[in-house]
Amino acid sequence: MSTVPRIGIDAMGGDFGPGPVAEGAALALRERPGRLRLTLVGDESEIRAALRRARAESLPIEVVHAAEKVEMGAKAMVAARKSGTSLGVLTQLHKDQKLDAIFSAGNTGAVVATALLGLGRLEGVSRPALAAFFPNVGAGTIALDVGANAECKPQYLVQFAHMGSCYARHLLGRENPRVGLLSIGEEDSKGNQLVQETLPLLRGAKHLNFIGNVEGRDLFQGTCDVIVTDGFTGNVLLKTAEGAAAFLGGSVRNEIKRDLLAMFGSLFMMPALGRLKRKLDWEEYGAVPLLGVNGGCFIGHGASGTRAFRSAIHTMTTFVETRVNEHIREEIQSDHVTAA
């Protein structure tokens, strides 16, 4: 790794093309002058036009041309085998150690498949996992897996716990992260076969501050710092939380518009409503890491805008600087958590 983190972005991956990528990159570089280097991969003419519009031509941004892009509807493994796409070129640059971390707001399945095929897994890791950050009444909770592995073995969940704990400790600053296993009740007798078989393994794991079973509501009560589950359940949890947040925000706006008194009163509540919006806004967090691959791979929402790309760049920079992958490798090997 170079002394200054080298961050690469798939400039063609989001719904809105290179525009928000260029604007987010410019914002991040101005906020961290001299502390990172950026590479944007995709159609060179489109990217340079976007950089001109963002007045970012003088900033330390390298542009690498890629003639193709991965469409949102593309099949994951088919896309992963195409080396000439912006995603494929970006991943190869990382594999060749020309970049320290990469980000795409494109086809999630394609990003996961390309990272696995191109970068491989960290030594000792059986399955990488997507780790999403959920804001709550506490300092927030990491949940994983939220979509990379629909079917899981108990040992996978133990590895997820180690990866999530390392991420929470070194990137989020949690000194001794509390880890919970998602179930339908706190009692040891509750849960399906996967939960029942995983529970004793987590209790016996070294380096983990395991607090036992937790329920879905604990995600928003700040009961723990890390929640582990299989990718199918985690993805349902993620999409439900996104929908609930959108419903809550829309309902508040609609109720305020219903009468003049409410609209007048909202003027005094604007600072509080603004803080709440920022806390619930996924663009404030920007990126979801694919933990367990042999590199830094982050995935964003297709609708990512300027703030999302800026936030993702800051998160990735911290990920590289704190050497999260090294800590994950050491912890998993130390605990001898292996699975086929």
DSSP code per residue over 303-329 = T--HHHHHHHHHHHHHHHHTTHHHHHH
**Adjacency order of strands within the sheet including 101-104:** 61-65, 37-42, 6-10, 101-104, 297-299, 288-291, 129-134, 141-144, 226-228, 178-182, 209-214
What pLDDT is stored for residue 282 in this prediction? 56
From the options 3.40.50.720, 3.90.550.10, 3.30.465.10, 3.40.718.10, give the CATH code of 1-125+292-322: 3.40.718.10
Burial of residue 256 (CB within 10 Å: 0-12, 13-18, 19+) is middle
Q: How far apart are CA 126 and CA 160, in angstroms?
A: 10
- 246 touches 239 (CB < 8 A): no
Q: What is the mean pLDDT of residues 12-21?
A: 90
pLDDT class of 251 with cuts at 50, 70, 90: confident
Q: What is each CA distance from 10 to 82, 117, 261, 296, 315, in whole angstroms?
A: 14, 17, 47, 14, 16
**Closest CA relative to residue 340, chosen from 196, 197, 97, 154:** 154
For a pLDDT cut of 70, what percent of the chain falls above it? Answer: 88
Is 156's pLDDT higher than 90?
Answer: yes
Average pLDDT over residues 55-60: 88
Topology annotation, domain 126-283: Isopropylmalate Dehydrogenase (3.40.718)
Q: Do domains 1-125+292-322 and 126-283 have the same CATH topology?
A: yes
Domain boundaries, the chain: 1-125+292-322, 126-283
pLDDT category of residue 83 using cuts at 50, 70 and 90: confident
Tell me what the pLDDT averaged over the chain comes to: 87
Work out the pLDDT band at 279, boundaries 50, 70, 90. low
Q: Is a pLDDT exceeding 90 seen at residue 334?
A: no
Residue (of 99, 79, 97, 132) closest to 8 by Cα position: 99
Residues 63 and 11: their CA atoms lie apart, in Å, by 10
How many CB atoms lie under 10 A from the CB of residue 196? 14
Specify whether the backbone of 204 is left (phi greater than 0), alpha (psi in -120 to 50) or beta. Answer: alpha
Predicted TM-score of the model (pTM): 0.86
Q: Tell me the per-residue pLDDT of 199-249, one tens digit each, with 9 for 90 and over.
A: 999 999 888 999 999 999 898 888 999 999 999 999 998 888 877 777 776
338: confidence class by pLDDT, cuts 50, 70, 90: low
